[in-house]
A and B are shown apart, each in its own frame.
Chain A
Amino acid sequence: MKGQPPDKGILPKRSSKRKNGKAAPSPVDRWFAEQGWTAQPFQHETWQYMSLQRSGLLNAPTGTGKTYAIWGGVVNAALLDTARAKAPGLRAIWITPLRALASEIAESAQRMCEATGLPWTVGSRTGDTTAKQRAAQKKQLPHLLVTTPESLHVLLSQKGSATLFKNLDWFVADEWHELLGSKRGVQVELALSRLKALRPRIGIWGVSATIGNLEEAMAVLLGVDPDADPDLTSEEFPTGRYDRGVLVRAQISKPIEMHTLLPERVEHYPWAGHLGLKLAKQLLPVIEASTSTLIFTNTRAQAEIWYHHLLEIAPDLAGAIALHHGSLDRKLREWVEHALDEGRLKAVVCTSSLDLGVDFRPVETVVQVGGPKGVARFTQRAGRSGHRPDAVPRIWFLPTHALELVEAAALRTAIGTNNVEPRQPMVRCFDVLAQYLVTLAVGDGFYPNKLFREVRSTFCFQGINAEEWAWMLTFITTGGSSLQAYDEFRKCAMDEDGLLRVTDRRIALRHRMSIGTIVSGASLSVKYLSGGHIGTIEENFINRFRAGDVFWFAGRSLEFVRVRDLTAFVVKSKATKGKIPSWQGGRMPLSSYMAHILRDQFAHASPTTGAAPELIAVQPLIERQRRDSIVPAENELLIERFKSRAGHHIVVYPFEGRVVHETIAALLAFRMSLLKPITFNMAMNDYGFELLSDQPIPIEEAIDNDLFSDAHLLDDLQRSLNATELARRRFRDIATIGGLVFEGFPGRHMKERHVRGNSALFFEVFSEHEPDHLLLRQAYDEAFNVQLDLPRLQAVLQRIAGQRIVLKDPERFTPFAFPIVVDRLSGMNLTSEQVEDRIRKMTEKLEKP
């Protein structure tokens, strides 16, 4: 972030507070002293700022006492305010992204209240809260409420919600870095804009792990002044427009101990793959050496496979290892977390499901299987270990193919510096806004002009103009121009007073049910015939099954029986082989920073300069690459050309990550398809991408024609098919969040293909009849800016423009090319041939002997 930070973080001189010699220690200070604890400097600092009613952002890693730092400030302030200390009513809201954390946070607040003599009640409210508890809360909310963004919006959708918040003093967003880059963060921004209107002096605090843009993260949370003149042309961080806050940094950085599991003979280690099972035997001593170990994999399927494999090679681990991922039943997961906490588990194979959460003291070691795709994620995961006094986080990197050793070397250099990736906040999420407006209309209703000002005070919607606002109102009152004929979209109506409200109880009920921004692909719950819930599985996976088929799930071998009422019934199976479910998602993009240090490692991957042990280990492979082709230097872009039985291959190596490669591949394929009618199949990984065709690829001609130019970029992308398809995919979630598509009542979910079919139909209709539809526009914006990352793409193309293109014709697939060619997933096609011609070719070809 450029320019002036919002606050230098200089506290007022102590003397100014001291009138008669010494400042009395705060109640929380006293309690700390009684416990024999010493408050850390950042805790003191936070308490002091909070006593001055300031807002801000606390940058502290987990397990360092950040919860006490914030609660301490709240409790101190409450005890000073003796007049209101005993009054009932909600005084502070604590937002957590993970409902599993809610109870722990509530407990530590409770402890502090009791110890300091503050007569407050503490409660939590999440999707897990029982109806009974909710009913009790409806009568009287606790003083401190720990909740999620979704549950907070449900509170806003209640009648009389304004009175619920009339005593509110504090708002805390925990793990703000986690919420920031998602639409859940936008939900927090919107809820806050409402709360600020009700309680203008509310204190707002965020708690965030280290990210590359902490100041921006704070600005997003605190919001903007809607009356200040936006100077959008300024490159500088526009301080005047943002509410000022203080940034408190906990200067705690434990060094990370990093190791890499080196294959004994790199020549024999696979060149491609994503499992790394070959190293499992070598991993056993690592597991043995620690009380507990967390083994992180990048996908749920990978976790299932690893769990299974570990038991196979080390049967004595049975009962001492467990599996943890997001599709498993909550009770199973809680059992695992509990057992881990008590030190009863030697190892847990997990996914990002354990990235966050309570700290497990017995965890001494973390293992990362495969590239973590980002430095922040790697350090975050490392930080899940080493929580005993004097212990340090220890992480082992386990490469899944030989070239990942270079990634390991890159990570090693990166964790030595303090560089981590920024998290980009989401902007102009009209789907979330549409949902929020209906949420308010279901509750007490709203006056459009008044609310416009509030909405413009959020970072996300600071740029929304009057026209767009008017469109939003039309959308929720009539459905917009193309849906006017249908009653279903007339959600809100204006009463004679000018208040926009929802009066239809069915619409209200349906809306409360669909509040949220996480759109789950339709999933089925998996249950034993004899009863007992095991977890959830994607509909697409289970649809391929017939009765009797065996699959692995939750670490068990299960035989599929039947599907009924969105439940897949199974029985235990004795079969040792079975399919592993593949869940959608899971492929994480390589961060731009990670891509940069990776290129750097490759460019300097020669034994003389490469001192990292991983680089030395990978030398035989690098040598082979150098012999058959080249290892590109910083100012070179390598293109390799092969011919094989499959056809003509072109492999390009920008080293920019899969997501960027997917886009460049489509762009290049499109540009070359203008030169002649040709069909391409595309494949990519984090290092490069491949174009495959049944006819020679006009690469030289294309290079001469400015193949990598960033001119007409947007136009070419839009025409390269890709854009419409991507937008269509983004639109599915947008239509659901924006309330166009209803996912169904609990227990009566719509089938996945219906939801998808419906959103696809909306997409068509809007494209044809209402191309300016804001939700449609948003789908394209998200496709370009979030998914394709257009700004990054432009930067990449400009970088390539400065490079020398080296075209090589190796005789065989090089070590660089191999993983791309082997990991090919069919399906991505781009063509400029007539479909009839393609059919003709396909049928003729086979007639030849």
Chain B
Amino acid sequence: MSLAEVMVAGERLLLHPYRALYWPRLRWLVVSDLHLGKAAHFRKAGAALPEGQDEATLKRLDLLVGHFRPERLLFLGDLFHSHHNNQWEPFLQWANAQTMELHLVVGNHDILPEEYYTEAGLRTTIGTLSEGPFAWAHEPVEHPGAFSLAGHIHPGVVLHGASQQRIKLPCFWFGEKGAILPAFGMSTGLFRLRPETPDRVFCCTDRAVMDVSNSFDRARKWKEKE
């Protein structure tokens, strides 16, 4: 595993290939867009999907928790996909077995009644959670006076190489006023970003987080010419 390190707003953040962010000073582990229960959600809507995805998602979370031993695990929205279904219970079990603090910044898909979260021991914040120089919210919006950290859009980038090669990968995106985390959940799709100056972009492979900001140099140089 090869992690990347980034300094923003005077704080050091670690980016993990599993598409998670770690804030060492306060020992926060942050993940976004798990979309648990999505398969079951679609099954109820008539699309009969098998499961197994949620289990894998939670397993990766266990590995991260074991690695960082965080004090707080922050879900940056879209933890559970819409209405209650039978996939909530495995999550509830998992949550109740945890010792660290669990915190959810509510996303557009988090529409369960509050008592569900209470039962799972999840603290919830609607809107923005402020901590240190950061404003933590589900949807990427500007927060004057703070550096915003968000999820929601499932960011990805396409890298181009010689001889018409291209790769599409999930990524962390860091702009001047905020950053966006990749989706932690499986099979959630990617929204392609087109980074501009002076954005920093870190893409995730299975084994590494890599700084690919200078891949977008070409666009940058072209802009400068104008």
Q: Which residues of A contact B (CB under 8 A)?
A: 482-483, 486, 488-489, 510, 646-648, 679, 681, 692-694, 740-742, 744, 750, 753-755, 757-758, 760-762, 765, 768-769, 824, 826-827, 829, 835-836, 838-843, 845-847
Given contacts A765-B52, A824-B164, A839-B159, 13 further A-B contacts (CB under 8 A): A482-B50, A486-B50, A681-B164, A693-B163, A741-B48, A750-B45, A754-B47, A765-B51, A826-B166, A838-B165, A839-B212, A842-B161, A845-B161
Q: Are A846 and B214 in contact (CB under 8 A)?
A: yes
Residue of B whose beta carbon sits closest to that of A846? B217
Contacts A647-B162, A761-B39 given; does A842 touch B207 at CB 8 Å: no
Q: Are A750 and B210 in contact (CB under 8 A)?
A: no
Could you say which residues of chain B place their CB within 8 Å of the CB of A762? Answer: 49-50
Q: Say whether B203 faces chain A, with CB atoms less than 8 Å apart.
A: yes
Could you say which residues of chain A place their CB within 8 Å of the CB of B215? Answer: 842-843, 846
Could you say which residues of chain B place their CB within 8 Å of the CB of A488? Answer: 43, 48
Could you say which residues of chain A place their CB within 8 Å of the CB of B167? Answer: 835, 838-839, 842
Q: Are B187 and A761 in contact (CB under 8 A)?
A: yes
Question: Which of B50, B53, B162, B218 is most buried by chain A, counting CB atoms within 10 A of its CB?
Answer: B50
- Choose among B163, B166, B169, B210 the residue that contacts A647 (Cβ–Cβ < 8 A): B163
Q: Are A740 and B48 in contact (CB under 8 A)?
A: yes
Question: Which of A692, A762, A839 is most buried by chain B, counting CB atoms within 10 A of its CB?
Answer: A839
Residue of A whose beta carbon sits closest to that of B221? A846
- Alpha-carbon gap, A744 to B205, bound state (A): 36
Residues of A contacting B: mostly? helix
- Alpha-carbon gap, A842 to B212, bound state (A): 9
Contacts A741-B48, A842-B215 given; does A758 touch B42 at CB 8 Å: yes
Q: Are A842 and B159 in contact (CB under 8 A)?
A: yes
Q: Are B163 and A692 in contact (CB under 8 A)?
A: yes
Q: Are B214 and A483 in contact (CB under 8 A)?
A: no
Residue of A whose beta carbon sits closest to that of B188? A757
- Alpha-carbon gap, A293 to B214, bound state (A): 57
- Alpha-carbon gap, A741 to B163, bound state (A): 38
Q: Say whether B189 faces chain A, with CB atoms less than 8 Å apart.
A: yes
Could you say which residues of chain A place their CB within 8 Å of the CB of B59? Answer: none
- Alpha-carbon gap, A840 to B214, bound state (A): 11
- Alpha-carbon gap, A647 to B161, bound state (A): 11
Q: Are A486 and B48 in contact (CB under 8 A)?
A: yes
Q: Which residues of B contact A (CB under 8 A)?
A: 39, 42-43, 45-53, 159-167, 169, 187, 189, 203, 205-208, 210-212, 214-215, 217-218
Could you say which residues of chain B place their CB within 8 Å of the CB of A646? Answer: 162-164
CB of B40 to closest CB in A, whole Å: 9
Residue of A whose beta carbon sits closest to that of B39? A761
- Alpha-carbon gap, A406 to B148, bound state (A): 63
Listed by A's residue number, 29 A-B pairs whose Cβ atoms lie within 8 Å are A483-B50, A486-B43, A486-B50, A488-B48, A647-B162, A679-B165, A681-B164, A681-B165, A692-B164, A693-B163, A694-B161, A741-B47, A742-B46, A744-B46, A757-B189, A758-B42, A758-B49, A761-B50, A762-B49, A762-B50, A765-B50, A768-B52, A835-B167, A836-B208, A839-B212, A841-B162, A842-B159, A842-B165, A845-B162
Could you say which residues of chain A place their CB within 8 Å of the CB of B210? Answer: 836, 839-840, 843
- Alpha-carbon gap, A600 to B136, bound state (A): 69
CB of A260 to closest CB in B, whole Å: 35
Q: Are B47 and A839 in contact (CB under 8 A)?
A: no
- Alpha-carbon gap, A762 to B39, bound state (A): 11
Could you say which residues of chain A place their CB within 8 Å of the CB of B189? Answer: 753, 757
Contacts A646-B163, A829-B166, A843-B215 given; does A761 touch B49 at CB 8 Å: yes
Could you say which residues of chain B place their CB within 8 Å of the CB of A486? Answer: 43, 48, 50
Residue of B whose beta carbon sits closest to that of A768? B52
Residue of B whose beta carbon sits closest to that of A692? B163
Q: Are B207 and A836 in contact (CB under 8 A)?
A: yes
Could you say which residues of chain B place their CB within 8 Å of the CB of A765? Answer: 50-52
Q: Are B214 and A847 in contact (CB under 8 A)?
A: yes
Could you say which residues of chain A place their CB within 8 Å of the CB of B211? Answer: 843
The 7 closest A-B CB pairs, nearest first, are A647-B163, A694-B162, A842-B161, A765-B50, A488-B48, A694-B163, A681-B164
CB of B41 to closest CB in A, whole Å: 11
CB of A820 to closest CB in B, whole Å: 13
- Alpha-carbon gap, A646 to B43, bound state (A): 47
Could you say which residues of chain A place their CB within 8 Å of the CB of B48? Answer: 483, 486, 488-489, 740-742, 758
CB of A458 to closest CB in B, whole Å: 28
Question: Which of B43, B46, B217 is most buried by chain A, counting CB atoms within 10 A of its CB?
Answer: B46
- Choose among A760, A840, A843, A846 the residue that contacts B187 (Cβ–Cβ < 8 A): A760
Could you say which residues of chain B place their CB within 8 Å of the CB of A740? Answer: 48
Could you say which residues of chain B place their CB within 8 Å of the CB of A679? Answer: 161, 163, 165
Q: Are A843 and B214 in contact (CB under 8 A)?
A: yes
- Alpha-carbon gap, A847 to B46, bound state (A): 51
- Alpha-carbon gap, A835 to B208, bound state (A): 10
Residue of B whose beta carbon sits closest to that of A750? B47
Question: Which of B162, B169, B210, B215 is most buried by chain A, counting CB atoms within 10 A of its CB?
Answer: B162
- Choose among B45, B159, B165, B205 the residue that contacts A829 (Cβ–Cβ < 8 A): B165
- Alpha-carbon gap, A845 to B218, bound state (A): 11
- Alpha-carbon gap, A455 to B47, bound state (A): 29
Could you say which residues of chain A place their CB within 8 Å of the CB of B52? Answer: 765, 768-769
- Alpha-carbon gap, A829 to B159, bound state (A): 13
Question: Which of B165, B210, B211 is most buried by chain A, counting CB atoms within 10 A of its CB?
Answer: B165
- Alpha-carbon gap, A835 to B169, bound state (A): 10
Q: Are A681 and B205 in contact (CB under 8 A)?
A: no
Could you say which residues of chain A place their CB within 8 Å of the CB of B207? Answer: 836
Could you say which residues of chain B place their CB within 8 Å of the CB of A768? Answer: 52
CB of A558 to closest CB in B, whole Å: 27
Could you say which residues of chain A place their CB within 8 Å of the CB of B39? Answer: 761
Q: Are A694 and B165 in contact (CB under 8 A)?
A: yes
Question: Which of B160, B163, B218 is most buried by chain A, counting CB atoms within 10 A of its CB?
Answer: B163
- Alpha-carbon gap, A614 to B160, bound state (A): 42
CB of A325 to closest CB in B, whole Å: 30
Residue of B whose beta carbon sits closest to that of A762? B50
- Alpha-carbon gap, A378 to B206, bound state (A): 51
